[in-house]
A and B are shown apart, each in its own frame.
Chain A
Amino acid sequence: MLPVIQFSDVVKIYPLKAGDVTALDHISFEVERGEFISIMGPSGSGKSTLLNLMGCLDTPTTGDIFMSGIGVRDMSDVELTNLRRDRIGFIFQYFNLFPLLNIIENVSFPQMLKSQKSVDPKKAIEVLHSVQLEEGLYTHTPLELSGGQQQRVAIARALINDPDILLCDEPTGNLDSKTGANILELMTELNRKGSTIIVVTHDSNVASYTSRTIRIVDGRIAA
């Protein structure tokens, strides 16, 4: 089976007036389907750049990235956007839900992008059940929910299109330790059911939930 993500000798250089900055320097790794991986590293090590490349928000300067075997380097903006919509689920530190939409609408949003029409909320309700959010909250707006509840909604939104991979950027960074632990338990449960999850974190406790850790130092994978 093809790896969900494959980085092959990836270099990312940001051209700046003061001089080029090499954020990633010849990175190669693979993520197999069903893995639960953490990416750790100090500030400025290249974690965010790596996350942006894995999330198809950016393309490498040199080298190749394959998402389930599909090369992304020469993809157009439209193709990259479709790839993000169909194959990647994003989970952010600050939840990043849409305040103008209620919970069901927030979760259905990527589904509507994919189907290009209004959708039956049945699947959104199913996914919200799977992330253990109380049913009474479904018609509330995000700002009426606690941080933990919002993050559950964000996870549900990330899962709605059955992505190949969940990319999590400090998913517990804005939660208290108990709620954070609950969210990590939920992610572990999702991984056990087959989801491929990559978590970018500073927190070694978060990394302890994962089966493998990739450490980045100065744009390179540390041995």
Chain B
Amino acid sequence: MSTIFWEISKRNIRIHMLRSSLAMLGIIIGVVAIGAMGILGNSMTQEISSSLSSVGDSVIVTPYSGGGGFGGGGGGSGSSANLMLTDQNYQQIKRAVAPNVAIPILSTSEHMKVGVGSDDIVATIYGIPTNQEKDLLPDLEAGDYNNENSGCLVGSTFAADHHIQVGSRISIGTDGQYGTLRVTGIIKERGMSFDISTDSALVVTKEWYQNTYNTQNVYNEVVVKVTSGDTATVKTIIENQLNRNIKEKTVSVTDSKATLATIYSTFGTVTTFVTAIGGISMVVAGVSIFNILMMSVNERIKEIGIMRSIGTQKKEVMSMFIYESAIIGVIGSLIGGIICILAGYAVSALMLGTTKYLFTVATMTSVVEGVGFGIIVCLLCGVYPAWLAANLNPIDALRHE
């Protein structure tokens, strides 16, 4: 039975093609606005997420400098003792977090040259205990960990930029004053990280670092790899142990997981906000659908009266207008969804320089949400005009001219 009302709805849309198309255009714009914003937001989140992939479950302990935030990874001169962790601090941390592994890190910026006559390079050098390199840097792109004092690991970006291979030699210091290191392995790309950023850096043994820079029993930071318990608990344990004096704190402790959650939450909020702005255009489109259906009801009052008089139920009259809004909503939303993917492709390519996150579940979800929202808005906007039509008094409707 609904076939005839479906048919009437289709034909009514067809004979009022211009206004139906304009209503559809509104929905298309709304879906594109919501979907494209969602695609962009999700792609950005995924881009950041992949950059931070190596953060894992770690807690970073740095000397307290008066402010909060995470301070590791960037290196530094290492010369100021009051901004260094002592070996006593490290031992306290190590005991407090056991059985989790605490890795002391030394770091500095240094001049270096790759091969004879090459340009002077300035890069970060990290000093890590040989037996803990694997704990901090589990993945190598090539070669092996350095077990010897004159060996080093290099980051993948550093290796690519300076054409370094396993076995290459790097002279450290201005005019090679600190000697030459042989590359034993290339570290797999880690992206942005809270602990140490190795992509454009060198990793040497702790012993070589301490002997070269004469920094005994002090460290720039300690990274705790949490394998037992959760990062928040480990953070609290360290703070309780080392920051007993509230007025004079010893260390700043950063929970990488909590920081990551804050970043994701911020991105989520931004994505929701821009998507909501896109939603405004959907509301405008909804008003347009509502207006068109109200016009349709007003134009067809007599027709509704005839239908009711010859035995059409209220719900059947209602279905006719709901079908009309559903047709506009579904077609408009699907077209909007397709355009949205194309627009998302273009926007991702232009703004992020990559489209690899376009066809992921999270990104496609925002397209589906846009399409779904479009259909729901259309249906909701059709309900009142349909109800109005169904509840017209048949006698008054029949008299209508």
- Chain A positions near chain B (C-beta within 8 angstroms): 52, 55, 57-58, 77-78, 81-82, 84-86, 90, 92, 96, 98-101, 105, 108-110, 112-118, 157-158, 161
Instruction: Please determine whether A100 and B312 come into contact, CB atoms closer than 8 angstroms.
Output: no
Residue of A92, A100, A117, A118 most packed against chain B (CB within 10 A): A100
Alpha-carbon gap, A100 to B324, bound state (A): 14
Name A114's closest neighbour in chain B (CB-CB): B311
Q: Knowing A98-B303, A100-B12, A101-B8 are in contact, say whether A84-B309 is a contact too (CB < 8 A).
A: yes
Instruction: Please determine whether B4 and A105 come into contact, CB atoms closer than 8 angstroms.
Output: yes
The number of chain B residues with a CB under 8 A from chain A is 23
> In the assembled complex, which residues on chain A have CB atoms less than 8 Å from the CB atom of B88?
none
A51 to chain B, nearest CB (A): 10
Instruction: Please determine whether A82 and B306 come into contact, CB atoms closer than 8 angstroms.
Output: no
Given A55, A96, A114, A116, which contacts B302 in the complex, CB threshold below 8 Å? A96
Name A55's closest neighbour in chain B (CB-CB): B309
Given B3, B302, B308, B310, which contacts A117 in the complex, CB threshold below 8 Å? B3
Query: Lowest 10 A-B CB distances belong to which pairs?
Result: A85-B311, A116-B1, A100-B11, A96-B306, A84-B311, A112-B4, A118-B3, A113-B311, A57-B394, A81-B313
- Chain B positions near chain A (C-beta within 8 angstroms): 1, 3-4, 7-8, 11-12, 15, 302-303, 306-314, 316, 394-395, 398
Given A55, A77, A84, which contacts B314 in the complex, CB threshold below 8 Å? A77
A145 to chain B, nearest CB (A): 17
A111 to chain B, nearest CB (A): 10
Instruction: Please determine whether B313 and A100 come into contact, CB atoms closer than 8 angstroms.
Output: no
Instruction: Please determine whether B8 and A110 come into contact, CB atoms closer than 8 angstroms.
Output: no
Q: Knowing A57-B394, A98-B303 are in contact, say whether A85-B3 is a contact too (CB < 8 A).
A: no
Alpha-carbon gap, A67 to B3, bound state (A): 30
Given B8, B302, B312, which contacts A113 in the complex, CB threshold below 8 Å? B312
> In the assembled complex, which residues on chain B have CB atoms less than 8 Å from the CB atom of A86?
311
> In the assembled complex, which residues on chain A have CB atoms less than 8 Å from the CB atom of B303?
98-99
Q: Knowing A109-B4, A116-B1 are in contact, say whether A57-B395 is a contact too (CB < 8 A).
A: yes
7 contacts between A and B (CB under 8 A): A78-B314, A96-B302, A105-B4, A113-B311, A114-B311, A158-B310, A161-B311
Instruction: Please determine whether A58 and B3 come into contact, CB atoms closer than 8 angstroms.
Output: no
Instruction: Please determine whether B3 and A90 come into contact, CB atoms closer than 8 angstroms.
Output: no
Given contacts A77-B314, A84-B310, 20 further A-B contacts (CB under 8 A): A58-B395, A81-B314, A82-B313, A85-B310, A90-B310, A96-B302, A96-B398, A98-B303, A100-B11, A100-B15, A101-B7, A105-B4, A105-B7, A113-B1, A113-B316, A116-B1, A117-B3, A157-B310, A158-B310, A161-B311
Alpha-carbon gap, A21 to B313, bound state (A): 29
A50 to chain B, nearest CB (A): 12
> In the assembled complex, which residues on chain B have CB atoms less than 8 Å from the CB atom of A101?
4, 7-8, 11
Alpha-carbon gap, A115 to B2, bound state (A): 11
Q: Knowing A98-B303, A98-B306, A100-B12 are in contact, say whether A110-B4 is a contact too (CB < 8 A).
A: no
> In the assembled complex, which residues on chain B have CB atoms less than 8 Å from the CB atom of A115?
1
Given B1, B8, B302, B398, which contacts A100 in the complex, CB threshold below 8 Å? B8
> In the assembled complex, which residues on chain B have CB atoms less than 8 Å from the CB atom of A57?
308-309, 394-395, 398
Alpha-carbon gap, A113 to B5, bound state (A): 10
Q: Knowing A57-B394, A58-B395, A100-B11 are in contact, say whether A112-B310 is a contact too (CB < 8 A).
A: no
> In the assembled complex, which residues on chain B have CB atoms less than 8 Å from the CB atom of A161?
311
Alpha-carbon gap, A112 to B395, bound state (A): 23
> In the assembled complex, which residues on chain A have CB atoms less than 8 Å from the CB atom of B394?
57
> In the assembled complex, which residues on chain A have CB atoms less than 8 Å from the CB atom of B8?
98, 100-101
Alpha-carbon gap, A132 to B55, bound state (A): 86
A155 to chain B, nearest CB (A): 13
A72 to chain B, nearest CB (A): 14
A100 to chain B, nearest CB (A): 4
B65 to chain A, nearest CB (A): 77
Alpha-carbon gap, A118 to B4, bound state (A): 8
Instruction: Please determine whether B395 and A52 come into contact, CB atoms closer than 8 angstroms.
Output: yes
